[in-house]
Amino acid sequence: MNKIPLKKYVEDTSQGEAAKKLGTTQGAVSKAIRKNREIYVVEEQGKLKAFEVRPFPSQIA
């Protein structure tokens, strides 16, 4: 599995193209990048998927 940071993927394509392939909006991609979320893009069986790495638990009680 070759994971590519979302920010790098967008640099090579565009926010709109990434959003279309991921099934979301350009605004959501833009916000994720702006907030420095740790999101990676992978291509599996010809489909683009993304996942986020974040601490668990994500909120401290």
pLDDT single digits (tens) 1-60? 799 999 999 999 999 999 999 999 999 999 999 999 999 999 988 899 999 999 888 776
* Domain extent for 38: 4-52
- Please indicate, yes or no, if residue 20 is contained in any of the structural domains: yes
pTM of the model: 0.86
Q: Coil, strand, or helix at residue 39?
A: strand
Number of structural domains the chain divides into: 1
- Please indicate, yes or no, if residue 25 is contained in any of the structural domains: yes
- Please indicate, yes or no, if residue 58 is contained in any of the structural domains: no
Residue with tokens 């420095």: 36
- Please indicate, yes or no, if residue 33 is contained in any of the structural domains: yes
Q: Which CATH number does the domain housing residue 38 bear? A: 3.30.240.10
- Please indicate, yes or no, if residue 41 is contained in any of the structural domains: yes
Q: Which residues contact 2 (CB under 8 A, 6 or more apart)?
A: 42, 43
- Please indicate, yes or no, if residue 59 is contained in any of the structural domains: no
